[in-house]
Structure formats: C-alpha cells, structure tokens
C-alpha cells in the first residue's frame, strides 16, 4: 500500500471516534523510540515536555526550552513515523502573546517537523490557540492536571473531583472543540468526568489517568516499558521491565570484559595474511 495511505492524520483520528475505534498514543523523544512506536502501530507520537522529567531529571516540566523541544521533535520526525507527530509547547513559549505562540509553533513545524502542537489549558488560552489554528497548525488540547500549572495547582493532584471544577473542565472542553482543536488530552481526572467530556464533544479525548471511557489513551513511553525504576503514578501500567533487562545486560557485559570473555573470536577482526604484521 502506498505510504501516504498508512500515514496517520488529524482527519483520520477524528474519524476513528465516529467509528468507535480507540486511539493509541505514547511519548517519544528520539529516533529509536519513534521508529518502534510507528512500527508497532501507535496512532499519535507526542514529543512531550515530560522529557524535562524523564530525560533531564528535573522535578517538573517548567524548565524545558523551545530549543529542547525543537531538537527532540527533529529526532522523532527523522524516524519518518507513520504515527502523527505532535509536539508539546513548553512553559513560557505561548503565554506572552498569540504571536509568540504562533512563532514557536511554526518553529516546531518548520525546524522540528511536527505535524501538530499541544498546549495546556482551556478558555484561558483561546486567543493563542485560535492564532495557531489560523496558520493551519493542528492543535491538541490538554485539560485536567496540566503540569505547567503545577505551582498554581499545588502539586501533581487529581483534578475535577468537585462539581464546580468538573463543570469548568467540561466547559473548557466544549470551548476547545468549538475553536477547532483536533483532540483533547484529559489528564488525571475522575473516570466519570472523562466519560462525560467524551460524550459531550465530537472530537477524540485522549486519557492519561482518566479512565477507560476516553476515545484513546496516552502513556509516557519510559513508564510503560519500565525504563525508569522510580515512582510511577497509579494510572501507569508497566508492560515491560526494560530497566531490569538493560541492567542485566550491562552486568553481563562488565563481567565478560573483566573475565576476558569479551570480545571473542567472532567479535574480532583478523589480518588477511597472518604472516604479515603491522607494527
């Protein structure tokens, strides 16, 4: 089949919701991860600003820069994945003015190869989202626990547990849909609330810690493959234990070096003419 027919697009994703087909999404920050995600059939690759915590070991995502995101988006897009590539706009890259947001979104597309951008927030961010949509860059919304608001929220806490806050999230989702975002990430909210949002909007909802009724799910790659051996939130399901696999491999490598078992004959080159020695 021609490649273009397999390439994931925002239109195809919206159609998936109408057909009741679930959407799969995972983060990737580099070529090998993007390649394996695409080969496995993942619909959306998110170059998430979670890379600030996962790759840079920061306590939150606030310090991630536009340069960081351009670089990692380029590493991902150079894998030429069939998945749709969406880049997170980092904190401070769209908060000053709609024009600032448009300029940075254009950088992610032009220099990084992004096919869409994700911005956190609802009605507060309508002007900047409208401006980005106006230059025809698809936008993914993000509501609920929005990690760039960590200090205002008082920590990584489940959002929308009380009716007033839940209603705000519903109103934000409706406003984002009206504006024209192609989908909305719902992070760390009660499953019942995510279900209601999912029913109230015609665009797909992509959940993370938002229960099973969302139109799709997203997880941080390193969490789901068990590449980190640190604290994992309740909503993560660990599908592999890559940390242990790599740890074990490295221990064996060290032992083989120390014992002289590596490299062996099969990993060594030989002279063509054994009688002839280079000094």
- Residues in the site for ligand KIV, rule: CB under 6 A? 27, 46, 48-50, 88, 185, 187, 208, 218, 220
Please identify, using beta-carbon distances, which residue of 70 and 208 lies nearer to ligand KIV: 208
Tell me how far the alpha carbon of residue 246 is from its chain's centroid. Answer: 23
The least distance separating ligand KIV from the CB of residue 174, rounded to whole angstroms, comes to 20
Q: Catalytic residue among 115, 120, 177, 187, which?
A: 187
| Closest CB to ligand KIV among residues 190, 209 | 209
CB of 265 to ligand KIV, least distance (A): 45
187 among known catalytic residues: yes
Q: Report the residue number, 46 or 79, with the smaller CB distance to ligand KIV.
A: 46
Between 67 and 134, whose beta carbon lies closer to ligand KIV? 67
Minimal distance in Å, beta carbon 27 to ligand KIV? 4
CB of 54 vs ligand KIV, minimal distance in Å:
8
> Which residues are tagged catalytic?
187
């Amino acid at each position: 089949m021609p490649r273009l027919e397999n390439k994931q697009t925002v239109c195809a994703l919206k159609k998936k919701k109408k057909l009741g087909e679930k959407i799969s999404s995972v983060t990737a920050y580099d070529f090998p991860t993007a390649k394996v995600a695409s080969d496995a059939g993942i619909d959306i690759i998110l170059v998430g600003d979670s890379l600030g915590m996962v790759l840079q070991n920061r306590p939150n995502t606030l310090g991630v820069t536009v340069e960081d995101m351009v670089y990692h988006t380029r590493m991902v897009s150079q894998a030429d994945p069939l998945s749709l590539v969406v880049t997170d706009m980092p904190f401070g890259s769209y908060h000053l003015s709609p024009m600032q947001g448009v300029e940075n979104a254009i950088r992610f597309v032009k220099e990084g190869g992004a096919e869409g951008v994700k911005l956190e927030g609802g009605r507060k961010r309508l002007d900047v989202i409208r401006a980005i949509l106006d230059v025809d860059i698809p936008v993914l919304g993000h509501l609920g626990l929005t990690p760039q608001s960590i200090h205002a929220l008082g920590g990584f806490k489940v959002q929308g547990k009380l009716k007033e806050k839940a209603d705000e999230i519903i109103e934000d989702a409706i406003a984002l849909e009206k504006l024209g975002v192609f989908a909305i990430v719902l992070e760390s909210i009660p499953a019942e609330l995510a279900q209601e949002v999912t029913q109230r909007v015609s665009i797909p909802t992509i959940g993370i810690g938002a229960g099973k009724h969302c139109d799709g799910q997203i997880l941080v790659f390193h969490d789901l493959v068990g590449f980190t051996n640190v604290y994992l939130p309740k909503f993560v399901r660990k599908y592999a234990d890559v940390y242990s696999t790599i740890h074990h491999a490295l221990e064996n490598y060290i032992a083989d070096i120390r014992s002289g078992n590596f490299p062996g004959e099969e990993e060594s080159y030989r002279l063509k003419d054994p009688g002839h020695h280079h000094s």
